[in-house]
Structure 1
Amino acid sequence: MESTQGLPLEVRLSAYLDGQLPEAEVEEINALLAADDAARATYEKLKLGSEFGARAFDRMLQDPIPLDLVRNIKEAGKDEDETPKLGIAAIPVSAVPAPRRSAFWPQALAASLVIFLAGGAAGYLISEQKQTSQVASASFAPVRTWLDDIADYHRIYAHQTRHLAEVAADDKAHIVDWLTASTGVGFTVPDLSAQNLTFEGARLLVAGGRPTAQLLYRDAENEVFAICFLKSEPVDGKTELTESIRDDLGLISWQRGNASFVVVGPSSDPNLERIAQAVSTSI
């Protein structure tokens, strides 16, 4: 281990951190740190930077290797394989570089310190960039609404046969009392026989964090349709019907007073809008 006497304090403290000092200098630095507040503050900063750089480097090692880098490495390997290799005897003596004298190690240590701090800064910038990217992604992520919850529920229950409804259709009076009390929305069960739909019963769901009623109907082709509603911010009168699509499902929604309604069915059904019109005037 070489002596760091006469070198800047930061270099000596860096060598002290790395365990690269002779024992006599270790004792000297210990005494300095115990008596000098400024030296101790510098040491703590260097220690913090070392720990931060190590963590940043560990995170960089855990990141997946970019495909472009892998391809470039493979291409470089191919180029080296294709380059003709000359035997040792074919290399002129004058082409063999003379051995270089090693630089004094404190200079290498100082250079290493600069590279390390630069690496720590790079790690910090990479970390900040990732956090900013994550925040931006979260900020621009599509906002999930109660209609998304309804679509998810419908995909599950539409495939049920024996357990399609929680309460059967023959207990209509109980369904009205139960769901009115649960959701805070007054309603009547629409008769959709003119639209060739048979009432199958009802369920209580949670959509958008609120209790939501689901009235279930089935057509002659065994397709399931649903009317869902929940209590919402009040509006004057009734809004226009709005159609949206979630993959294979069509949803036609509107608001009336303090309630929001939606009719859900196969997006390919040409009668979905006509069914929603009938529901909006009878529920």
Structure 2
Amino acid sequence: MVGSTQGLPLEVRLSAYLDGQLPPDEVAEIDAILADDAAARAVYEKLKLGSEFGARAFERMLQEPIPLDLVRNIKEARGGDDDTSSTLGFAAIPISETRAPRRSAFWPQALAASLVIFLAGGAVGYLISEQKQTSFQSAANEFTPARTWLDDIADYHRIYARQARHLVEVPASEKDHIAEWLSASTGVAFTVPDLTAQKLTFEGARLLVANGKPTAQLLYRDAENEIFAICFLKSDPVEGTTAMVESMRNDVGLISWQKGDASFVVVGPSADPDLERIAEAVSTTI
């Protein structure tokens, strides 16, 4: 048992707690800290993971066979003696050369050294755990594609396309208010497109947040009760109008483009053959 760790850093106290090196009163104190402090619990779990990792590594090291070169060097150092001690792989020490045990101040130094090694081992385990977690997160981030505003739009569309009574936030009967409200909210001036020629009926609008920006959503319905949407937000300006880009998010089809300082997308069922035609009509009227 190490003794009191009062006044030492939390990591040191938790390391001693983990190895059962604390007196009962401090064990109760650490138990209370872990019960009430989420940050302390997180540090404890990392120390625990590092300790387990170090223990497994040490156990694997002990199971490794003794290198053949080491065995040969020991035998050569003994000059090829063939007595009983040679079977043990160690040179015999003459009795006359052994020193009588003596009492000294060595044991406090050994205890201190042991404590330093113990704490260093805990710190190494903690750092290994931290490094493994950071490396894992870095690898995950490297292979995870970055989300775009179109991913947010596709998620919104799946939710609102299933709504019947609450499809829109502001109904189509307030078209003038919708244009004023969404223009002021998004910073994009627009006109609500009339898509009756594409057999779509305007239902109303919503204000969304995509890629951290206020985003307008105009919703339309066709004769088969399928829902289509036009969404747009403020973006970095480009010259003129970019080419349309078609993409899919499972069952949701998206055709996007950029015009000036705004990005647009028409959203609908991915299987609808008229989605591109609808997008072309929107791009010339919005």
The one-letter amino acid paired with 1:129 is: K
Q: Alignment partner for residue 134 of structure 1, among 134, 137, 145?
A: 137
Q: 1:234 aligns with which of 225, 232, 237?
A: 237
Secondary structure of residue in 1 paired with 2:159:
helix
Partners of 2:222 and 2:161 in 1: CA distance: 12
Shift of 1:140: 4.5
Secondary structure of residue in 2 paired with 1:161: coil
Find the aligned partners of 1:214 and 1:49 in 2 and give their Cα distance: 51
The structure 1 residue matched to 2:2, chosen from 18, 21, 25, is 18
Structure 1's 124 and 209: CA in aligned 2 closer, same or farther, altered over 3 A? closer
Residue 202 of structure 1 aligns with an amino acid whose one-letter code is A
Which of 249, 253, 258 aligns to 2:252? It is 249
Tell me the equivalent position of 1:150: 153
SS in 2 for 1:164: coil
Provide Cα deviations, 1:104-163, integer angstroms capped at 9, x if missing partner: 9x7x97997698455653443233222232244345433222212211221121111122
Correspondence list, 1:37-186, <5 A = 51=13, 53-54=15-16, 59=46, 61=48, 116=118, 117-118=120-121, 120-186=123-189
How far 1:265 sits from its partner (Å)?
A: 0.6
The question of whether the paired residues in 1 share the 8 Å contact of 2:238 and 2:261 is answered with yes
Among residues 198, 210, 213, which one is paired with 2:213 in the alignment?
Answer: 210
Q: Gaps (5+ residues) in structure 1? A: 1-16, 20-42, 70-103
Distance 1:124 1:277, change over 3 A: same
TM-score, length-normalised on structure 2?
0.60
- Rounded to whole Å, the distance in 2 between the matches of 1:160 and 1:58 is 44
Equivalent position amino acid for 1:59 in 2: K
The secondary structure found in structure 2 opposite 1:215 is strand
Q: Is the 8 A contact 1:254 1:260 kept in 2?
A: yes
- Alignment partners' CA distance in 2, 1:219 and 1:125: 59
Partners of 2:14 and 2:225 in 1: how far apart?
A: 62
Aligned-partner Cα distance in 1 for 2:44–2:139: 24
Q: Would the aligned equivalents of 2:258 and 2:264 in 1 still touch at CA under 8 Å?
A: yes
> TM-score, normalized by length of structure 1?
0.61
1:30-49 Cα shifts (integer Å, max 9, x gaps): xxxxxxxxxxxxx9xx9898
The alignment partner of 1:264 has SS state of strand
Which whole-Å CA distance do the structure 2 matches of 1:140 and 1:221 have between them? 40
Q: Distance in 2 between matches of 1:60 and 1:254?
A: 51
Please state whether the residue corresponding to 2:283 is helix, strand or coil: helix
- 2:162 & 2:145 partners in 1: Cα distance? 27
For residue 202 of structure 2, give the secondary structure of its aligned residue in structure 1: strand
Of 261, 265, 268, 1:265 maps to: 268
Name the amino acid aligned to 1:276.
Answer: A
- Assess if the C-alpha contact under 8 Å between 2:254 and 2:267 holds in 1: yes
The 3 A distance-change label for structure 1 pair 58 and 275 is: closer
CA distance in structure 1 between the aligned counterparts of 2:125 and 2:281, rounded to whole angstroms: 63
Offset, 1:216: 0.5
Shift in alpha-carbon separation, 1:111–1:191, aligned structure 2, 3 A:
same
Equivalents in 1 of 2:131, 2:245: separation in Å?
Answer: 42
**Aligned residue pair count:** 207
Query: Quick check: 1:229–1:261 contact (8 Å CA) kept in 2?
Result: yes
Identity among equivalent pairs (%):
63
Q: Deviations over 1:38-76 (max 9, x none)?
A: xxxxx9xx989854745688536569x9xxx9xxxxxxx
Query: Unaligned stretches of 5+ in structure 2?
Result: 19-42, 57-100, 102-106
* Corresponding position of 2:201: 198
Equivalent residues of 1:249, 1:267 under 8 A apart: yes
